[in-house]
A and B are shown apart, each in its own frame.
Chain A
């Protein structure tokens, strides 16, 4: 311990403590501008200087370790004089437009000038003028207000890893700039706004929030982001019952996953909440046109139609699509509605289209179909991260930041396998750009190397797993040389990748829809599980099979039983004991018959077996494969009821539309990809007559003769946890702050950040002997390209929200198809040229984006755009035989010049 005196007070601090912390411990209020506890120290603003007795110079307390016997004064006349002069120097070049400045009231320069009584600068004179006109729709850059603390530069590099900005020039001419002092959009900037978050003055501000309210005027409501499964928390800034901005808390106690970091959608994509397109009243379609209706009329009509179908065609002619975007409480009620009210297990949601194969594959291998480890493992614990089929920095941006942090700061190894040279691929130790759909071959190849070179974990295999021999036999023929022509990856790279993965202390697999959205999706997932078990990389910190789930509550929707085969917590509908338990809890008799998946419901509707469909917050008219086929099916229904916040392409097909609440208007919980259950909180009222989604379900249930009544979302949660073992120990009170990872079986249980630590959920881990099978649709002369689809950083799901977020839509208004320049030249296509992209299902017209991140035989397009909908092209018939997930990632395609 170090003993020192601060402002006459003797204190003790651990060795290595910086003076700044020691002073703060002693109760001194030390001003800082460049200091940020999450960033590397700069020691440059010199505001934190203090006087150390016996030293000629003042010391910058943020970078000076406390030493024994130091006598420190934190507000001596010399200290005050130095701080005053520093403030005057900054003031001399600062553009003071405080009345209209977005940071007025939350500006450190303002605060300190007030504190030290700096009314004007004795050094006022000329100054460089740096105002930067940057046309991006997100971030205002006014360097005439910049104080050169460089927190933005450090945040960009150290939190986000984008490295888009640095200091240009030097001395008094130095300013923050992108390379060549260009626009942010031309740099590697990802518009996460971490720079805005850390800027202590008004140099960097949000254009989206501009003019809507000063920070101190806004009420702040902590909630969980709705734009992906990472589970970032942030604060909705509210003024006059309107969301006027998003800020984030940097305290891990309130922002456990992201620690304040957000992505462009989270920070700048919130204005869809008050879009004029929001549904404000129930709608009823008459003669092909919608008219506004009262709640009673719409609910009565919906109930009558459902009742009629049920009576005429039986319960199983009805189906419910629940949603990965609504809360756990609402998903619980939606599946309860299907089962207890309609009497069918025909309930599913879009996990069918993204991670059904994860639930099936990991479930089969380990017994519990979810991400095994927690997100912060990537940043802190993993020594090697194997990213396969995940464009993490675009689809789970904050997880992408963590991977980059670990690689750059801790030196973790990074192995990336992807058909595209993604951002992570470009910084990987080994990058395997493999042919889409050859995942099993690639991983079998890696495992062949691991077995051949005996770098497997024999002890783990012996003690914790079964069926190794059968697996080993299958893998035997997949030598790197054998799979090189299949995957297009050099044998040597496969060896290198295998060695890095097998020989690192803790290796984590991180995958997403590149693995799951295949006709062999379940096999792909099982291969990931095989790889982890083979090397003992499971059940420990920094390891695991980590399925990154796409939507904010896709994990929760699965957990809540919005699946045709299980009730909550994966309790099988076919298990008589479970059935009895739910019959008792819900007071009705329930069907033991397995229900239909989404991908079965659509053809069933087309063929007349399904007559009525209730869609809660889903948009199959954009999200499902082969939209022409979906459209035909929906048109064939007797009754389509859609509950949403916008008149989506699916809602347009509906007979009755119910206006629900957005995430900003409701209380409840989301479960993130890492199985962490976190609160969402009501910040503003819903527009017009819109209602809380759970309330609409209740009112419909009541009209159908099954009483449902809850005072609030918490009451639903309370009921849910009585029938859901993995959530049994959670309460809203316990979820405050850092949330809880399931399983959390009892109220004194701390939650489970890492699964399968002692044994697998199913007991022993099960090796699967998986053979490589080619994708269903292979390119031929007519359709020479392999078309893959996916998500953009700037949009979400079917675009219903993100395309109504003005800045996001302004930044990326149209779909594009990515094509390799060499291939483009062959077809005679220039960058930005509008082209026709076709498959056997249909065609869309969109701009070509020439980029060498795709190989010559691969095309890539985004699925958010209804007017150039990728799913007009995808194949609804190429389904995984186990879980029914469509092969979104491989279609044979053709590209034509218009």
Chain B
């Protein structure tokens, strides 16, 4: 198998995502129509049984998440379009190619949880996507496609941590984007303290297809436990660095060698980082793995956002990880001690190693720090920040040791 499977992106570049009519012509808003005719419980059950799991990185069953929402007079549907994982731009692509599917998906969720108001939180790096979405919403409202469901777009302002759902909620509320502790989960007390479902763009955009083609059909695509398609963005040392939509049982090596056209300039492969900058580095021996959530987990990696960064044999892993550690230092919100201080010290130690000033003790210290950050940080950012470090020490330890003082 080497072909893409375009579901969300089927009509890419053939329809204008701003125009609801274009989308309707290719069968759009049928899913919502169907959802509105369904009993709420059945609708949630349908989504549950499709096996659709969150595409933001956590991989939680979407229907299940919705089923936890308690009754309340006001509830919100929030779309996470704050894709800040370096190397990730799939949500932008989905919006630029098929924004109406996102809107329809949000309205379906609104129907399921009885919410009349949606928010799209779009990262500050995408002002043009905000513009596009506003036009798309206007068009959908104008043709009555969304019914009484309203959607407002809010723009982030340069904070990776706002991709974390509670930080995102804080940001919509106009606060510093600091994550909240959980419980309570947003489903119970989210935006402005009321029940709120937060899902990723890709999750919402899949819903119309599940509703129109059926849960069973969707469940049959890709990996059985993580069915459907996944949009990947391929970067780094490959011949074809672009985006793809593939079934979830697609193999990592095929992403690189078939879709990606192999390593650039005829060089050899060294490592691939999947899931964005917080993902693990995967060595060659693990390439024969399906990209789905669980298979990635089994090799100590994560599908995450679906970003795939390929490095050729000439790349300096320690240097790249040093750069990554700087990213986390910059993006830590500073709320909890392990992350605020930990990301800073990780960067400091990585720089020391990279500059050839470190000893074995520094490696031990950074591993200890990593362990505590993973287990004691307040949110996913601090918990994931050390993964690139630990995964590279595990698989590419020799590159670290080569830079230690005694060998310099």
Check B372 against A41 for contact (C-beta < 8 Å): no
B342 touches A171 (CB 8 A): no
Residues in B whose Cβ lies below 8 Å from that of A45: 336-337
Interface: A58 (CB within 8 A): yes
The yes or no answer to B85 lying at the interface (CB within 8 A) is no
Residues of B within 8 A of A33 (CB): 337
Interface contact B376-A65, CB-CB below 8 Å: no
Are B368 and A85 in touch, CB under 8 angstroms? yes
- In the complex, how many angstroms separate the beta carbon of B9 from the nearest chain A beta carbon? 35
For the complex, count residues of B whose C-beta is within 8 A of A.
33
In the complex the two chains form, is A65's CB within 8 Å of B336's CB? no
Q: A123-B341, A172-B329, A172-B340 are in contact. Are A167 and B334 (CB under 8 A)?
A: yes
C-alpha spacing A243/B146, complex, angstroms: 71
**CB <8 Å contact, B372 and A43:** no
Whether A174 pairs with B376 at a CB distance below 8 angstroms is no
- With A49-B376, A89-B341, A123-B341 already in contact, the answer to whether A44 and B365 are too (CB < 8 A) is no
Closest to A45 in B: B337
Contacts of B344 in A (CB 8 A): 171-172
Proximity bits, B320-347, A CB within 8 Å = 1, else 0: 0000000001111111111011111100
The listed residue with most B CB atoms (<10 A of its CB), out of A82, A92, A147, is: A82
Chain A residues positioned under 8 Å from B329 (CB to CB): 171-172
Contact B334–A172 (Cβ < 8 Å): yes
Q: Is A93 in the interface zone, CB < 8 Å from B?
A: yes
Tell yes or no: A339 within 8 A of B by CB. Answer: no
Contact of A89 with B183 in the complex, beta carbons under 8 Å: no
Tell me whether A92 and B176 are in contact in the complex, defined as CB-CB below 8 angstroms, given that A56-B375, A170-B333, A172-B334 are known contacts.
Answer: no
Is A289 an interface position by the 8 A CB rule?
no
CB B219 to nearest CB in A, in angstroms, measures 28
Residue-wise, chain A 89-133 has the 8 Å CB interface mask toward B (1 for contact) of 110110000000000000000000000000000110110000000
Is A46 close to B, CB under 8 A?
Answer: yes
Asked if B376 and A58 make an inter-chain contact with CB atoms under 8 angstroms apart, the answer reads yes
Q: Is the CB of B376 within 8 A of A82?
A: yes
Point out the residues of chain B lying under 8 angstroms from A57, CB to CB.
374-376, 383
A78 touches B338 (CB 8 A): no
| Pair B337/A122 contact, Cβ less than 8 Å | no
What does DSSP make chain B's interface, helix, strand, loop or mixed?
Answer: helix
- The CA of A78 and the CA of B375, in the complex, are separated in Å by 9
Taking CB atoms and an 8 Å cut-off, the chain B residues in 337-386 that contact chain A are 337-338, 340-345, 348-349, 365, 368-369, 371-372, 374-378, 383
User: What are the residues of chain A within 8 A of B368 when measuring CB–CB?
Assistant: 81, 85, 122
Residue ID in chain A nearest B341 by CB atoms: A89
- Measured between beta carbons, the chain B residues less than 8 angstroms from A43 are 181, 336, 378
A148 to B159, CA, bound (A): 20
Provided the pairs A123-B345, A171-B344 are in contact, do residues A82 and B375 lie with their beta carbons within 8 angstroms? Answer: yes
* Distance in Å: Cβ of B385 to nearest Cβ of chain A: 11
- Report the minimal beta-carbon distance from A253 to chain B, rounded to whole angstroms: 30
B348 and A171 contact, CB distance less than 8 A: no
Min CB distance, A108 to chain B, in Å?
A: 13
In the bound complex, residues from chain B placing their C-beta under 8 Å from that of A82 are 338, 372, 375-376
| Docked CA distance A33–B335 (Å) | 13
Contacts of B183 in A (CB 8 A): 64-65
Q: What separation, in Å, do the CA atoms of A147 and B338 have in the docked complex?
A: 12
Name the distance in Å between A77's Cβ and chain B's nearest Cβ.
12
Q: How far is the CA of A170 from the CA of B372 in the complex (A)?
A: 21
List of B residues within 8 angstroms of A86 by Cβ: 337-338, 341, 372, 376
- Interchain CB contact under 8 A, B343 and A46: no
In Å, the complex CA distance between A173 and B330 comes to 9
Residue from B330, B333, B376, B378 having most chain A Cβ neighbours under 10 A: B376
**Residues from chain A with Cβ under 8 Å of B376 in the complex:** 46, 49, 57-58, 82, 85-86
Residue of B nearest to A60 (CB): B181
Interface residues of A in 68-84 (CB under 8 A from B): 78, 81-82
Contact of A44 among B349, B375, B378, B383 (CB under 8 A): B378
**Residues 163-213 of A contacting B (Cβ, < 8 Å):** 167, 169-174
Q: Mark A246-275, 1 if CB is under 8 A from B, else 0.
A: 000000000000000000000000000000
The distance in angstroms between the C-alpha atoms of A516 and B349, with both chains bound, is: 68
- Kindly state the separation between the CA atoms of A64 and B349 in the bound complex, as whole angstroms: 33
Contact A46 B337 (CB under 8 A): yes
B381 → chain A closest CB, angstroms: 10
Q: Enumerate chain A residues within 8 angstroms of B336, measured Cβ to Cβ.
A: 43-46
- A123 and B332 within 8 A (CB): no
- Determine if A60 and B341 form an interchain contact, defined as CB atoms under 8 angstroms apart: no
Query: Could you tell me the distance in whole angstroms from the C-beta of B379 to the nearest C-beta in chain A?
Result: 10
Chain B residues with Cβ under 8 A from A92's Cβ? Answer: 341, 345
Give Cα distance in the complex from A170 to B167, angstroms: 13
Complex Cα distance, B159 from A626, in Å, reads 63
**Complex CA–CA separation, A33 to B334 (angstroms):** 15
Interchain nearest-CB distance for A582 vs B (Å)? 61
Check if A63 is an interface residue, CB within 8 A of chain B.
yes
Select from chain A the residue with minimum beta-carbon distance to B183. Answer: A65
- Tell which of B176, B337, B375, B378 touches A148, judged by Cβ atoms closer than 8 Å: B337
Q: What are the residues of chain B within 8 A of A122 when measuring CB–CB? A: 365, 368
Smallest Cβ distance from B142 to chain A, in angstroms? 38
| B337 engages A44 (CB within 8 Å) | yes
Q: A125 touching B345 by the CB < 8 A rule?
A: yes
Whose C-beta in chain B lies nearest to the C-beta of A89? B341
A170: contacting residue among B159, B338, B375, CB under 8 A: B159
In angstroms, Cα B375 to Cα A173, docked, is 23
What's the Cα separation between A167 and B177 when bound, in Å?
A: 12
Interfacial chain B residues near A123, Cβ < 8 Å: 341, 345, 348-349, 365, 369
In contact, A167 and B181 (Cβ under 8 angstroms):
no
Known: A123-B345, A170-B159. A60 touches B378 (CB 8 A): yes
Whether the Cβ atoms of B333 and A46 lie closer than 8 Å is no
Residues of B contacting A41 with CB < 8 Å?
Answer: 181
Contact B343 A89 (CB under 8 A): no
CA distance A147 to B345 in the complex (A): 15
Least CB distance from B186 to A in Å reads: 15
User: Is the beta-carbon distance between A85 and B372 smaller than 8 angstroms?
Assistant: yes
B372 to chain A: which residues have CB within 8 Å? 81-82, 85-86
Q: How far does the alpha carbon of A82 sit from the alpha carbon of B372 in the complex, in Å?
A: 5
A171/B340 in contact, CB under 8 A: yes
**Bound Cα distance from A172 to B335, whole angstroms:** 9
Bound-complex Cα distance A174 to B365 (A): 24
Which B258-292 residues have C-beta < 8 A from chain A?
none
Chain B contacts for A170, CB-based, 8 A: 159, 176, 332-334
Please, how many angstroms separate the alpha-carbon atoms of A64 and B185 in the complex?
12
Question: Which residue of chain A has its CB nearest to the CB of B176?
Answer: A167
The interface bits of chain A over 345-389 (1 if a CB of B lies within 8 angstroms of the residue's CB, else 0) are 000000000000000000000000000000000000000000000
CA distance A89 to B338 in the complex (A): 8
Bound-state CA distance A123–B332 (Å) is 18
Additional A-B contact list (14), CB under 8 Å, known A57-B374, A85-B372: A41-B181, A42-B335, A44-B378, A46-B336, A57-B376, A81-B371, A122-B368, A123-B341, A123-B348, A123-B369, A171-B333, A171-B343, A173-B334, A174-B340
Sampled A-B contacts (24; CB under 8 Å): A45-B337, A46-B377, A56-B375, A58-B375, A60-B378, A65-B183, A81-B372, A82-B338, A86-B338, A86-B372, A90-B337, A90-B341, A122-B368, A123-B349, A125-B345, A125-B348, A147-B337, A169-B334, A170-B333, A171-B334, A171-B343, A171-B344, A172-B332, A173-B334
B residues near A, CB below 8 A? 159, 176, 181, 183, 329-338, 340-345, 348-349, 365, 368-369, 371-372, 374-378, 383
Nearest 4 interchain pairs by C-beta: A89-B341, A174-B334, A43-B181, A172-B344
